[in-house]
Structures are given as structure tokens and as C-alpha cells.
Structure 1
Amino acid sequence: MSLKNVLFWIVALMMLTLAGCKDDDITPNGEEPEPEPEPTEWSIPTYADDYSPIAAWSLRNQWNLANVHDPSVAYYNGYYYMYGTDASYGNEHEGHGHFQGKRSRDLVNWDWVGGPFYDDPAWVADSLNAIRSRMGLETIPENEINYGYWAPVVRRVNVDGQEILRMYYSIIIDNYIETGKANTPANFDGSWVERAFIGVCESTDPAGAVWVDKGFVTTSSSDRGLDYSRSGTNDWSAYFYYNAIDPTYIVTPEGKHFLIHGSWHSGFALLEVDAATGKPLNTLGEPYADSASELVQRYGLRVGTRTASSRWQGSEAPEIIYKDGYYYLFMAYDGLDVPYNTRVVRSENIEGPYLDITGRNFTNGRGDSYPIVTHPYKFNLHHGWVGIAHCAIFQEEGSGDWFYMSQGRLPANVNGNPYSNALMMGHVRRIVWCPASIDEPDNLWPLALPQRYAAVPDDEPITSDLLVGTWEHMKLEYTYAQQNTAKSLTLNADGTMSGALSGSWSYDEAKKQLTLGNVIVCVEREVDWEASPRKVTLVYAGTEKSLNGTYWGKKK
């Protein structure tokens, strides 16, 4: 072989070698990614709704979506990582660190992963007692501080060219302000309970539970100066204007970074943070002021409140996303055990005003907001679900489809268990974007589907003839602490309907939109989790701007 030919084959082999070393084969950390699992044939999920037989900590690798509360989800290095409030059935999590998580490749099957902390972050006690000292209060010994770990939010962000996971987390202090004693009826001292803090930590190795804590971001703040007195345990007027829990985090199309946080109290605060550090751009100063106007200049603009005049208004857990020119702000209403339900409002500006589907101004506290995204419900032949709110909203990697995740609680006394309402199963649901009315086909609003996501193959079109038959139809409407129930609806082949609804129906196969009278609902395939055995079926969700509710349906 000539020297020329030898050189040709050497160069060719080098090119083939280099072609196999694409950037796609390297993670953002410069490490090789974990190998993709072999594809398996799709099957219907079999994990049980009642997970009490496997609730023990020693069985956590069998939990799948058991023991989920206030979840937040972000995609990183081939997995969806989920973290939530420290909570579990029987408090099995206690003594095993804070903010344990789960991860999944397919949003259906989840494995347990460790969380960021095993010990209480030292900065919390330091910050608390520094504030107390400036208020003229005695310090609370660190071993007497009662901590609670609540409601983190996790996002994938790019910092100086490196993709990381950034988590904002909440820590509440359950001691009275006046004496610093533990929050118990016997210790009540005529003051409010202490403040909460939001901190930030970051990771490039969430699989290994390796996180770097960056410390203080913000704290609960008051517009009542140093008057933290409380007239009695039935006084709900609240010392704090903003409660520093339940953060949500967004990067705007312009590249600005914002936190929105708050619960009950006076509403939700918008706080701009530095992209590189995650800390507030502006100096916060003392967490108290003599007026709300003075306070909000430093601790954040109020962008939403359920009732403008209320300090105990039953709205919490903001979650914000951006889509097609709008910021969509999801929130939870009411108590978390049974009545929890989800609403959504939107704005063209991050600062608001946030309006509901009817034009009600949530920023100004103009009453309850619609549409309803989730609500306690019960389909036939099943106990149903309650306490469905405090959601994460996120996109599927690759498809860009949107998903809703929250916990769902079982009602009390399921399977004879008086504590079944403490069982918290993670629910992942697809979001459909449905028209606000027949006359506004492009005015789309997000709604969760009535059945949990099971990654059902969608390789066949949903045609009009498949819709003919009997459905379980439900109107999700606001009924405090009550489950909405299903009624029978028949879609006849001649385009009429009977049972729960009357009149005519029609179907747009290209858009997968079913018109039931004057309401357009969006149709998808999902698993009927209530059936025994579970089976694939058709489901729908939709609303109409004057309905003050949402239609959910499942074909029998």
C-alpha cells in the first residue's frame, strides 16, 4: 500500500472516531451520562393507591409515588427530579434528612433519591436570632428552635455556562415571638408564631444528593413594625404581611430571574433575584415596617391576593410558568387535608395584573378565580381523591408538553383506616390547553386531565366514532371540602347526548376538541385508574368562561 493510501485510511479512522464523540454524549458537568435503559414494552402501572402496607422507611425503594407532598419537578441529566415538603405517612421520614426526592425517566415510575440536608442549616438560627436581637428579644437557644421543612422549588438554570439545579426551600420556625417558647397551647404568650425563611442551594449531582447551601434569601416580613401581639389563639389577623414559604421561580424571556412566594396572610410577593447568585438584587433591610407601602418597596410587590382586606385568606402555593405571551400563575385554595383545590390566573406582565378567565383581577383581590384546575372528586366504583393542590407545572423534555403534579390524599376511613387521609400519593397529570369559549377558539387555558398520566401510547387517532357511548361526566365546581361526583352521560351516534347533559355534540378530530353544548373539552387517551383491572380509556377536560367550573369526563 502506498504512503498516500496509508495516510488516507489513518485520517478516515480518525474521522470515524471523532464522529462518535459528539457533545450530546457529555453531560453539562463534563461527565458521561448514565446509560439509557433498554426500551421495554408499555404496560399499565400497577402500584396501589393505598400504600400503607409499604409505608415503612426501610421499604422506601418500593414507594414509587408514595409519600409526595408539595412537589416541584425539574429535568436534569436524563431524569426528572422531584422534591417536596418533609412529610410522610406515619412520619417515617423523620431522622433521615430533609427534602428527600424522587427521580424518573418516564414520569410514571419513580425511584427514591436523597435530599440536600441532614442537619439544620446553621444560617437559619443565626439569622433568626440576629433579627430577634435587633427587635430587643432574647435569643432562642439553637437546641430549642423548632424547625419545619416546607415546599421547595427546583429549577434547571444556566450559570456561567454550566447547567445546575437550583432549589429554593422554606424553613419555618415554630416558636412564639415574645418568649421564644415552642408553639403549644400551654406556652401561648400573647404573640404570633415566629417567622419563616427561604434559602437557596445548588447541585450538579442530585443523584448523589450533593448540594451546596448558599443560605439566606428572604424571610417573613411585617407591616406592623414591632407590634407582634396577638389577642388570642382565635385571632387570625396575622403579624406578617408576607409569609416566606412556598417559593416559585421563573426566568423571564428577557433573562430576568424572579421568585414569587407567600401563603394565606396578605398574598404573594414578587422578588427579583440575581441570575448568578440567586439572591435578591436589592437590599431587603429589616423585615418589618410601619406600613405596607414601605414594606413592599423592599420585600416585593404584591402580585396576587384572594381577598385584599384579609390577613388569613386561604390561598397559597403559587407556581408560575410562561407560555405564548402570558405568565400563568397557579395557586392552591383552602386547607390541605380535604378541601385543597387549584386555580389559575394569567398576565402579560410578570408584575401583573393577573386576571382569571372571566377578567376578575386576582392582583387586586377581586374574589375567587377561575378556572378550577383540580378539586376533590370521586368517579364511580372508587373512593376518589381529596387534597389535590400545591402543584408543580413543568414541561416534558423533548415534546414540550405541559404537566401538572401534586399530591392526592385519600378520604378518611378508606379500607377501614381512620388515618387514610394522611396517605399522600403523587399525581402526575397531563395539561390540556382548552378554549375559554366557543367564540374564542384561540383563547386557551390550562386544565389538568381527570386521570393520572401513564404514558399511554398514542399511535392511533381519536376518531368521532370512538366517542360514541357512555361516559362518566363530572362538573368540577367549588364545593368546600366536598368531593364532586360523576353522572352518566351518553353520546349518541346521531350527534345528540343524554343523561348528565342534553343537546348536541360535535368533534374536531384534528384538534381533539369535543363540543358538549356550549363547552369545548379536550380529549386524550389515559388509563382508567379506578377500573379493576385498570384499562386504557378516553378522557376529557374543558371549561367555559361563565361556567365557574370545569368539565371532566372518562369513557366507561
Structure 2
Amino acid sequence: MPILMLVGLVGCSGKGTPQPVFPDPPGETAMYDTSVLHDEQKWTVNNAHDPGIIKTEDGYYVFSTDVKVGGEPKPGVMVRKSADLIHWQWVGYALPGIPEEAGAWSSAVNLWAPDVVKHGDEYRLYYSASTFGSRQSMIAMATSPSIEGPWTDQGAVLKTRSEDALNAIDPNIVTDTEGRMWMVYGSFFGGIHIIELDPATGKPREEGFGTRIAARDPVTEDGAVEGPYIIYNEKFKKYYLFVSYDSLFEDYNVRVARSDSITGPYVDYNGREMTDTEFQPQYEIGNKVLGGYKFGEDEGWVAPGHNSVLKDGDDYYIVHHARGEVDKHWSYLHIRKILWTEDGWPVVSPERYAGEKEQDIPEAMVAGEWQRIEIDPLVDGMIESDPLILHSDGKLEGRRGKGAWTFDGRRTLNLTWEEVPEGEGRKASVQLLPSWDWEKGVQTLVFTGLDERGISIWGKREAPGES
């Protein structure tokens, strides 16, 4: 079937542009495989939650929250590694359990949301100790000369009490363009804060909680903002703040905003600040780049979120967990390429990473039948795709009516609808990417981009004869 798909796509590619290189089959991942429940060595991408990624000389490593389907998780921060970001191998636990200080302060039964950085010759593992719904929390640090340990606990980095307005969980360590080190952290209790660290110790320079850079109100699961992660893009000279919104099990989704300064203000595509709790509805703040989705009749993914971001050379990847549509108790590790719009906004691939590379696409490959997803911030939960036909004469048609498409001859596709209600999005600019269709198990072409409202638009080309 992969061969048929490749022939169907490239056989009509025409002349001029070289044939694109599609990813090789990455292998299958069995979903909801109860045979691995108690065999950690087979937990490749299963039982991955709140993943934090780091690249080392020995490969890529993901550290994640202690979770387990079908039983109580062992505490200690789960560790996995990969040579290619596609195939993952279980390593073990960073710590032998919950360190004494963290347990005494928080009563934690597992450790959450780790982040790992390297400073000089030392690796630093930041982790969260808390219990669900509590603000009696602690961010702590362990150090090691080796990414696989052993790790030595260095105690508390930041503590919050039950009576505090904010919550010391979900740390991410970032160094700004001036070489200053910061920790961004927090949750829907009090929002997201950033505080400067002393590089020598990896702990805050001053007392206090730092500066608030994102918040939502009211404080409910449906009003959650958590899992912050900051990156800097040298090309656009901007800091980008990624956060997760809403309920962990139901409608988790990833938002992004950007700033000229690491301490904010962070502003979305429409100029709304991430600290604006007065604007209504609040779910319209932040560019929604990833949410629950379903292509056609294939099984979808629910509540993707709590991401980290990897910059690997010139490539960027978003690393997150997601839950299968059939059974939301199972969380899986997902990695996707991030592409960038001309005006400097990150957009996410509709398909998980399988080795795809950004490259020029022959125009003759574009026409055909597609499935399109509009990642609407107004829609909670899983969004289903709708058909889109791109005709070879430059016209298009789909659920929203008729229109036209144009192609720049490289990888940018522009879609224009003729008649749509005001405010629903008439134009979109998207980028094409040769990918692996994990739902069908074939090679395919996808697109990702934004419409003029800043709403993410995804597409996946159907195999010839599939519709």
C-alpha cells in the first residue's frame, strides 16, 4: 500500500521540480496493548505524559511524568531515548523514588512534568512534586554528569503553599539572548510566571515568584493554563510562549504567543495579551496550534498537550502527549515538525514525525482530494475533518462552498473561498510537507498554516481511489 500511494502521488508530478522524498515506513505502534501493561521495557511511546526533551551527544532523551495504565505508577521520572526521534527505547527512572524533601512538603505519590537542561558539564533535572488540585507544591532539581544518571537531588528550587495564589509546578528552563537563565512555570492557580535563576546554582536569584506572563479566569479545569515552554527564534527575533489550555482528559490544546522580551508581554496573532483575563471569551486568546482531531473515519486523537520544543539545527519539533480516541486512559508520545509562516508564527504538522524534510513540491501533486481540519478555538474536544477537492484548473470546493487555489511553485499553497459569512475565514496560506500517514500506513502529502484570523488550518491528501 505505501508503494501504491507513492506512485499515485509522484506519478503525476510533471517536470521541473525534483521528485520529493517521502518518509520510509516508521513501523507500527500497537494501540491499547494490554500485553505491555507491566513490562516497562516495552513502554516505547506508551505511558508518556508531559514530555520534556533534550538532545545530547548520545541521542535524544525524553523525561516525563510518572503514569501507568492499569496500575499505580512507580515514582522517579520516566526516561526514554531515541536516535532518530521516531523509534523510542525505555531507559528507566531518573530517581529511585520521591526525594525526602519533595515528599515531605507536597505529599506527592509521583513526580510530574520534568525539564532537563545542560549547564557546563552538568545536567540539571527539574521536576514537580504536588498532588492533583493542590497548591502545596514544589519544583526541585537533581544534577548528574551523565544524562542517564545517577542523579543527585539538590532540593527545592521553588515552593508554594496551599494558601498561595499560584502553583510551583511545570518548570521549563530557558536562557535568553543575553545569557541570563530563567525558569517559566505555573498552572491555572495564579497563571504562568517567569523568574530569573542564578546560572551557578540553577536556583532563583531573588526571593518571590517572579513575573506573571499568562493567566486565565475563572480558576477551573475548563479555564486552565499550564505546561509553559519558551523558545527563541533567531530568524524572527522573538520569544515564543507555548502553553496548554483546558481539561487534561477532555479538550487539552496547545496555544502560542510571542514577545520581544522573555518576560513579556506575550501577544497572539490578533494582538491579545496572554495576561488579559478581562477579554471574553478567553478561549480566543493565544494561537491554537494543536488540539484534538480526527481525519475521516480513522481513529482520532484526544487532548494533545503539555509540550516541549526541540530546536535541532534549523529544524523545530513540538513534543507532546496525546490520548487515543477509543480509550483516553492511554497517553502516547507524539513528535511533530513545526513549520514557520512568513510573518513568524509557528504552525504544527497534522502528522507525527517520521523523518520528513521540508522540500519543494511539484505543482501537479497538489490537485486531488484532501481532508481539511480547521483548528477552531471555539470548538472544544476533537475536531473532525471535512472533504476538500483541489481541481487541476485551480478551483476548489468543499464543505464551505467553492473557491480557488494558487501555488507558488515551491511549497506554499493559498486557498481562497468565494462566499463565506463574515468572520469565518476566507483566505488561508499553508505549507506543503511530504509526510507519513500514520492513520493509513502510507506516504502522503499534508499542509499546515493559518487563515487571516490566525486560525490553524490542516490538510491531508487522500490516496488515489480512497474517497
Q: Same fold (TM over 0.5)?
A: yes
Offset of 1:500 from its aligned partner?
Answer: 3.4
- The aligned amino acid for 2:264 is G
> Is the aligned partner of 1:273 residue 2:197?
yes
- The aligned amino acid for 2:442 is K
Offset of 1:205 from its aligned partner?
Answer: 1.9
The 1:125/1:403 distance shift into structure 2, 3 A limit, reads: closer
Residues 323-402 of structure 1: pairs in structure 2 closer than 5 A: 323-324=233-234, 325-365=237-277, 366=279, 367=282, 368-396=284-312, 399-402=313-316
Q: Paired residue for 1:119, among 75, 97, 103? A: 97
Q: Which residue of 2 aligns with 1:183?
A: none
Tell me the distance in 2 between the aligned counterparts of 1:241 and 1:251.
26
Offset of 1:215 from its aligned partner?
Answer: 1.0
Q: Secondary structure at the match of 1:61?
A: helix
Q: Which residue of 2 aligns with 1:543?
A: 450
- What TM-score, normalized by structure 1, do the two folds share? 0.72
Larger Rg: 1
Contact 2:412 2:429 in 1 (8 A): yes
- The aligned amino acid for 1:148 is N
Q: Which residue of 1 aligns with 2:60?
A: 80
The one of the two structures with greater contact order (alpha-carbon pairs below 8 A, sep at least 6) is 2
Q: Which residue of 2 aligns with 1:231?
A: none
Q: Which residue of 2 aligns with 1:211?
A: 151
Q: Paired residue for 2:354, among 428, 443, 454? A: 454
Tell me the distance in 1 between the aligned counterparts of 2:434 and 2:220.
43
Q: Secondary structure at the match of 1:262?
A: strand
- The aligned amino acid for 1:158 is H
Q: Which residue of 2 aligns with 1:133?
A: none
Contact 1:355 1:363 in 2 (8 A): no
The 1:444/1:165 distance shift into structure 2, 3 A limit, reads: same
CA-to-aligned-CA distance 1:40-91 (integer Å, 9 cap, x gap): x974122325142343232x32332111100000011231110111112113
- The aligned amino acid for 2:38 is W
The 1:456/1:268 distance shift into structure 2, 3 A limit, reads: closer
Q: Paired residue for 2:232, among 284, 297, 322? A: 322
Contact 2:195 2:211 in 1 (8 A): yes
Contact 2:303 2:381 in 1 (8 A): no
Contact 1:358 1:545 in 2 (8 A): no
Tell me the distance in 1 between the aligned counterparts of 2:94 and 2:381.
37
CA-to-aligned-CA distance 1:433-474 (integer Å, 9 cap, x gap): 12xxxxxxx41211111100001467x741111111110111
Q: Paired residue for 2:439, among 505, 515, 530? A: 530
Q: Secondary structure at the match of 1:123?
A: helix
- The aligned amino acid for 2:150 is V
Unaligned runs of 5+ in 1: 1-40, 129-144, 175-191, 222-227, 229-238, 285-297, 415-419, 435-441
Tell me the distance in 1 between the aligned counterparts of 2:379 and 2:395.
33
Unaligned runs of 5+ in 2: 1-21, 417-426, 463-467
Contact 1:371 1:543 in 2 (8 A): no
RMSD (Å), alpha carbons: 2.2
Q: Paired residue for 2:37, among 56, 64, 69? A: 56
Q: Secondary structure at the match of 1:394?
A: strand
The 1:270/1:340 distance shift into structure 2, 3 A limit, reads: same
Q: Which residue of 2 aligns with 1:503?
A: 403
Residues 64-463 of structure 1: pairs in structure 2 closer than 5 A: 64-91=44-71, 93-94=73-74, 97-125=75-103, 145-155=107-117, 157-159=118-120, 162=121, 164-173=122-131, 193=134, 195-207=136-148, 209-221=149-161, 239-282=163-206, 284=207, 298-307=208-217, 310=219, 313-324=223-234, 325-365=237-277, 366=279, 367=282, 368-396=284-312, 399-411=313-325, 414=326, 420-434=327-341, 442-456=342-356, 461-463=360-362
Contact 2:103 2:129 in 1 (8 A): no
Tell me the distance in 2 between the aligned counterparts of 1:457 and 1:249.
28
- The aligned amino acid for 1:404 is I
Offset of 1:100 from its aligned partner?
Answer: 1.3
Q: Which residue of 2 aligns with 1:513?
A: 412
The 1:401/1:197 distance shift into structure 2, 3 A limit, reads: same
Indicate the structure with greater helix content.
1
Q: Secondary structure at the match of 1:66?
A: coil
Q: Which residue of 1 aligns with 2:14?
A: none
Offset of 1:364 from its aligned partner?
Answer: 3.2
The 1:333/1:491 distance shift into structure 2, 3 A limit, reads: same
The 1:92/1:212 distance shift into structure 2, 3 A limit, reads: same
Contact 1:55 1:89 in 2 (8 A): no
Contact 1:266 1:311 in 2 (8 A): no
Tell me the distance in 2 between the aligned counterparts of 1:45 and 1:240.
47
Tell me the distance in 2 between the aligned counterparts of 1:220 and 1:100.
24
Tell me the distance in 2 between the aligned counterparts of 1:469 and 1:120.
54
- The aligned amino acid for 1:254 is E
CA-to-aligned-CA distance 1:208-261 (integer Å, 9 cap, x gap): x3112111100125xxxxxx6xxxxxxxxxx43110111111001101000111
Indicate the structure with greater strand content.
2
The percentage of counterpart residues that share the same residue type is: 30
Q: Which runs of 4+ in 1 moved over 6 A?
A: none
- The aligned amino acid for 2:447 is Y
CA-to-aligned-CA distance 1:286-323 (integer Å, 9 cap, x gap): xxxxxxxxxxxx2111111123x757731111111011
Offset of 1:344 from its aligned partner?
Answer: 0.3
Q: Secondary structure at the match of 2:381?
A: coil
Tell me the distance in 1 between the aligned counterparts of 2:339 and 2:23.
23
Residues 32-47 of structure 1: pairs in structure 2 closer than 5 A: 43-47=24-28
